[in-house]
Amino acid sequence: MSAKPASTKPASTKPASTKPASTKPWRDVIALADLEPNWVTRVQVGQRLIAVYDTPSGIHASLALCNHGGADLCDGYFDGHVIECPLHQGAFDVRDGRPVAAPATRPMRVLEVRVRDGMVQMRL
């Protein structure tokens, strides 16, 4: 795991989702400096809970609730690029949402992210 503070990390350069890029406008979600370094940070945007990951390859994000049992991934163990659900330890690669450990079998929904002027932005 990188020891660099979150504030030095670039955002992931490519959208993690396999879906076509959204046409919705970018909006600020959290300041880069407020992210937990090398960990997952919970962010609430409107009605949504979002998990923002500070990883060795940049900032990634996904919906915060596990698509298996509905637990909050932000309370889970995070290591490198893998977020593990706190309830059953199902795990996902945060770069593309790919499930990497049972009981997770479906990809989680990842969100398009960029960093501008010290702010993590997403199209929501």
Partner 1 sequence: MTQGVVTPLTQALAEGKLTREDLKSLMQRSDGPALRRLALWLLVLAVTATLITLAWDSWLIWPAMLLHGVVLVHHFSLQHECVHYTAFRTRWLNDLVGQICGLIIMVPHRFFRYEHCDHHTYTQLTGKDPEQVPMPRGYGEYLLYLSALPYWKTKFTEVARHAAGRLSEAEKRFIPREEYAAVIRDARVMLAIYALIFAGMAASGWWGLVWYWIIPVFLGEPVMRFIRMTEHVGRPEVAQMSENTRTNLVSAPWRFLCWNMNYHAEHHYVASVPFHALPRLHERLRDHIHVEPGGYLGAHRDILRRIRAQSREGRE
Chain residues that interact with partner 1, rule: CB under 8 A: 36, 39, 44, 47-49, 64-66, 69-72, 75-77, 79, 82, 84, 86-91, 100-103, 105
Q: What are phi and psi of 109, to 5 degrees?
A: -85, 115
Distances in Å between the Cα of 26 and the Cα atoms of 22, 43, 72, 100, 120 are 9, 16, 24, 29, 10
Least separation in angstroms between residue 117's CB and partner 1 is 27
Listed in sequence order, the DSSP H helices in the chain are none
User: Closest Cα to residue 16, out of 48, 47, 58?
Assistant: 58
Least separation in angstroms between residue 116's CB and partner 1 is 26
**Terminal-residue alpha carbon distance, the chain:** 29
Which CB atom, from 66 or from 120, has the smaller least distance to partner 1?
Answer: 66
Which CB atom, from 21 or from 100, has the smaller least distance to partner 1?
Answer: 100
Least separation in angstroms between residue 61's CB and partner 1 is 15
Which CB atom, from 28 or from 75, has the smaller least distance to partner 1?
Answer: 75
How far apart are the C-alpha atoms of 9 and 66, rounded to whole Å? 25
Which CB atom, from 63 or from 119, has the smaller least distance to partner 1?
Answer: 63
Least separation in angstroms between residue 102's CB and partner 1 is 5
